[in-house]
Chain A
Amino acid sequence: MNMTRRELLGAAAAGAVLTSCGKSAAPAKLVRHFPVSNVSITKAPAYDMSIYDTIYRIVSDHKLNVRGKRIVLKPNLVEFEPGTVINTHPMVTHATYEAFRKLGAAEVKIAEGPGHRRATLDLAEAAGYFATVPKFEESFTDLNLDEVAKRNIPGPVSKLKSLYLPHTVLDCDLLVSLPKMKTHHWAGATLSMKNLFGLVPGGVYGWPKNVLHWAGIAQSIVDLHHLFPRQFAIVDGIVGMEGNGPIQGTPKQAGVLVAGSDVAAVDATCCRIMGIDPAKIEYLQLARGEENLGETAFHQVGESLHTVRTPFHLIDPWKEMISL
């Protein structure tokens, strides 16, 4: 890579010169405590019909109260490239859709607002969603073009004070993040929390959703996370992406699905599977504090971490900065 760690830190320091203007002292460190939450790790070796049963069991085991509820599934749709692992596999999304329906949800919608491409339905078609999900268009909402309402961010971590957000996600009872397990050249790793960038409407903020970058990527991830307190996540780590993710990386078979209601805990667990120290991922630090990201901070159920650990290749300078 042409950008060295020194350059990356230099750019960050230059930003800090400006962003720290007017601040007199660093705030005192706040020690926070989180209830120990369940994170399930389930082996899933391939995208085949067994996924439907596997995901049904995952959702059932987490004992979510979904009967009569409105559920929104948020996969990660990014690019058209055929034969790559950029997007959440449609079978994972469809199996989750079927699981929630079977468990009595009143309504299950699939919704996404891609950050790069405007032709969302064409992108979904290229990613195999039309072929996999029957009557896909009827259950799908393009969040980039949905009606919006303004929401103030309580105690923002980023420079944002408010965001326009789509009605579809504001009105749901449970938001289910369905990301792909990928490395990310700006954030280190992109998982359930980073996937929430797709909730921000391109029709208002444009493509890419640059207001979030200016407000601080990690900080905006945390603010979005706080705006949606009722979440669940299932991370598609059957085949993830390593290297220069989230677009130009290479496939990496991890053979797992990682799930839970505490999505920061889910992401921290995914990081450990990927060989990444979650305490070094800025948005996880901000969301939970370093002291709440240790291996014993969550109750891991299903497979143990060491049996599924699959170190992902990290590009420089991330390799040096975040490897376990």
Chain B
Amino acid sequence: MKKNSEASRPALAKAPTGIRGLDEITFGGLPRGRPTLVCGRAGCGKTLFSIEFLVHGAIEYDEAGVFIAFEETEEDLTKNVASLGYDLADLCRRKKLTIDYIRVERSEIQETGEYDLEGLFVRLGYAIDAIGAKRVVLDTIEAIFSGFSNVNILRAELRRLFRWLKDRGVTAVITAEQGDGTLTRHGLEEYVSDCVILLDHRVREQISTRRLRVVKYRGSSHGTNEYPFLIDEQGLSVLPITSLGLEHKATSERVSTGIESLDQMLGGKGYYRGTSILVSGTAGTGKTSIAAHLVDAACRRGERCVYFSAEESPAQVIRNLRSIGLDLDPWIKKGLLHFDATRPNFHGLEMHLLRIHKLIAEIKPKIAVFDPVSGYLSLGDSLEVRSMITRLLDYLKSRQITSVFNTLVEGGHAELQSEIGVSSLMDTWILLRNLEHNGERNRGLFILKARGIAHSNQIREFIFTDHGVELKDVYVGTEGVLTGSARAAQEAREKAAARLRLEATERKRRELERKRRALEAQILALRAQFENEADEFQKEIAIEKTREQVLEAERVQMARLRLGNGATKAKRERNGKGA
């Protein structure tokens, strides 16, 4: 039953504002047929907000609008928004828009007795009927508080006005000045309670940031955060990040960094596409060069890249990279590489974020480099910067764009502390450090982490050559990590030692050979001697044998001779022995 009623419950009808990003936050726009309060301090963009609401309504949604201006004349308004490409006069001619300037000047008005604001109702009603308006803006209705002194009448009339607007079924935007501690100076939020949007304009360190927040939205869910918004030559746009989702896909495609030895360190295959890479290090450790290698490799694969340079001009970056044999210029000419060099303090954080968004949406790169991202730190506290980078990362990841963030670590800081505290957001963290030893500085590189990659745990020496960056094994021994000339010296020492070792082995081998030969000679001699002895022994045996035979023969002879003469026989036998 309940389910049924839920399913059949009509969604709140909404009137899209056409303001980029806002309709996403409000899931469709402002409540249709109801008044919405837009409040904020002077210069926060209330008027522009309401103009855009009407202009987009007229052009994109075919809903005519009435603009009741209490502060600016038709001419001023028309002029002010002409720079955004809105031709109000044309819209008025086509009966898509009516602007009515209501001037309330207290000095001209004397009050005596009872009155009401029926004149306003009449004008509004007339304007609505004249063009069949569906949208109404009252900018800024509070101006009447300065024109009339009887606040009780005004409050009653305003209450009536908002009810009247609802009855007319127009979608209305009422703007109001923000008061101290209240949303509006005159408490209009009491009357307009369906939807309240707060615009804010903060200046911190001379850099302004605009923010928008949907304070309430009766009968509808809405994003509750403060969303940065931007007013530029295309009007107002709210940062179109409605949620910090973690739903991005993850590919298992691995791509080369352009530095073979670095690929080797990254499990031999390079980095995962669409991940975030943090390259941190102190000044002059080669962060830009690493980033440039990645860009170069991507361009060689025919992928588009965007390089956001915050400290150097494109020409300077390119010139400097030529010194290590990387020429990015052809990629720019081919349209594969797009440079965007903007000083961080040129805009506020949000403006940067928006610009980055726009550029990325326009170029659709595969890899985006931010060199360095630490430059943005001056634009807000670390929380804001972190939030900006989080949103940036989400945006890039959701589009499978690899991001390279270079971050400068100040000398005094702990090396492992990436200054903005974004390291936990990064998938791969390449740390560059200066290794100072033996009166020279050398660059060392190691991979602190690489999610999902069996990466090397070794520190490598990072060397600039005229054909790019090379990584060399460093020596880690009792004397510490050896790099540069110390490494070279160590190499020479090792070579010498190896040669010595080789010679020693050779010597030993020769000696052994000699011994073996001596031994063999001895064996030969012994064998010869033995054979001699054996020969003689054989000869003796043979002689003995002969002698035995001879004796035997003699004995037989004697026995034959002595047949019948025993005494002679024995005598012969003795003689025979004696002979």
Tell me, yes or no, whether A binds B.
no
Residues of B within 8 A of A (CB): none
Residues of A within 8 A of B (CB): none
